[in-house]
Copies of this chain bind each other. A is one copy, B any other.
Amino acid sequence: MSKLLIVGTVAFDAIETPFGKTDKILGGAATYIALAAAQFEVESAVVSVVGEDFPQEYLDLLTDRKVDITATEIVKGGKTFFWSGKYHNDLNSRDTLETQLNVLADFNPVVPENFKDSEIVVLGNLHPLVQLSVLEQVENPKLVILDTMNFWMDNTWDELMQVISKVDVITINDEEARQLANEHSLVKAARKITAMGPKYVVIKKGEHGALLFHDGQVFFAPALPLEEVFDPTGAGDTFAGGFAGYLAQAGDLSFQSMKNAVIFGSNLASFCVEKFGAERMLSLQKEEILQRLDEFKALTQFEIKLT
């Protein structure tokens, strides 16, 4: 059983989609990553920060799933990071209505002693300097996975380049990959991003699936065609969590294993979007994941025999 270290936000989200809207609910990148990874046999910890307003029952949802949250600081008198957004009708784009950094503004991540030897580290979307600080505290991880977004490209380019140069895998969406590489072609973009450091580049295309690039090779995991996407919030983080969780359980970091990992990432993400926020991830059972794996096989596997 590998150790998996996750750093990222644990937060409140308020979401509006064409199907309805929520009050403040459980959110945050590290939450989604940890909930997805918890579906695998892993020993995981979340390094994060919340305010005193954060309900114990939300934290219990993580500890119930054997996620170590001793390094998730609860700031006395502080308020938890809050994001609210509204999705457009096709659910492919959204507007941020409000962002309150709150306790995240002074987040100083401290990796717990017993997770300094983590084999796999997931750096959830955060300020690159915070991500770098975590990397400095871990001892020789086998695989570091980075998630980031356009905001850091716009505002902290140099710091972002520093962290990108130190990771093994980057997961990023298609528009962000184009911005990062200044290339429209995703094939060319992936090559440029590889030159920045990561040996593996995962480009997430939402409902259009995900591409895994490595050393001139490419693998594609489709998104499962769904009757309805209810709420895309957290799907990208859930993908990263499924990806990392599978690899931690498998203990195999070959390209072959990475292919399976993106299939599991896509698998887990396909559940995440079925309900508001993390709701579906909280009810998700392992048997459902295995059943959906069969659906992914039926969706993609073929056998051509040429005479």
Q: Which residues of chain A have a CB within 8 Å of any CB of chain B? A: 89-90, 184-188, 205, 208-209, 211, 217-220, 222, 225-228, 256, 259-260, 263, 290, 293, 298-304, 306
Interfacial chain B residues near A205, Cβ < 8 Å: 208
Residues of chain B within 8 A (CB-CB) of A301 are: 300-302
Give the chain B neighbours of A259 by CB distance below 8 A: 302
Taking a contact as CB atoms closer than 8 A, the residue among B89, B218, B225, B263 that contacts A187 in the complex is: B225
| A290 CB contact (under 8 Å) in B228, B263, B298, B306 | B306
Q: Tell me whether A228 and B185 are in contact (CB under 8 A).
A: yes
Contact partners of A89 in chain B: CB under 8 A = 184
**A256 partner residues in chain B, CB cutoff 8 A:** 302-303
Assess the B302–A263 pair: CB atoms within 8 A. Answer: yes
Q: What are 12 A-B contacts with C-beta separation under 8 Å?
A: A186-B225, A187-B226, A205-B208, A219-B298, A219-B300, A219-B302, A222-B222, A260-B302, A260-B303, A260-B304, A300-B301, A300-B302
Contacting residue for A300 out of B226, B228, B300, CB 8 A: B300
Q: Considering the chains assembled together, what is the distance between the CA atoms of A227 and B213 in angstroms? A: 13
Please give 20 more A-B residue pairs, beta carbons under 8 A apart, in addition to A90-B184, A260-B303.
A89-B184, A185-B226, A187-B225, A187-B227, A188-B228, A205-B208, A208-B208, A208-B209, A217-B298, A218-B225, A218-B298, A218-B299, A219-B298, A219-B299, A219-B302, A220-B300, A260-B304, A263-B302, A263-B304, A293-B304
Cα(A211)–Cα(B299), bound, Å: 9
Please give, as numbers and ranges, the residues of chain B lying within 8 Å of A220 by CB-CB distance.
Answer: 222, 225, 299-300
By beta carbon, the residue of chain B nearest A259 is B302
CB nearest to A211 among chain B residues: B225
Cα A222 to Cα B208 in complex, Å, equals 9
Write the chain B residue with the least CB distance to A264. Answer: B304
For A89, A90, A218, A225, which residue has the most chain B Cβ atoms within 10 angstroms?
A225
The chain B residue sitting closest to A249, CB to CB, is B307
Contacts of A226 on B, CB cut-off 8 Å? 185, 187
Alpha-carbon separation in the docked complex, A222 to B260 (Å): 17
What is the distance, in angstroms, from A188's C-beta to the closest C-beta of chain B? 6
Interface centre among A187, A256, A301, A304 (most CB of B within 10 A): A304
**Given the complex of chains A and B, what is the CA–CA distance between A225 and B209 in angstroms?**
12
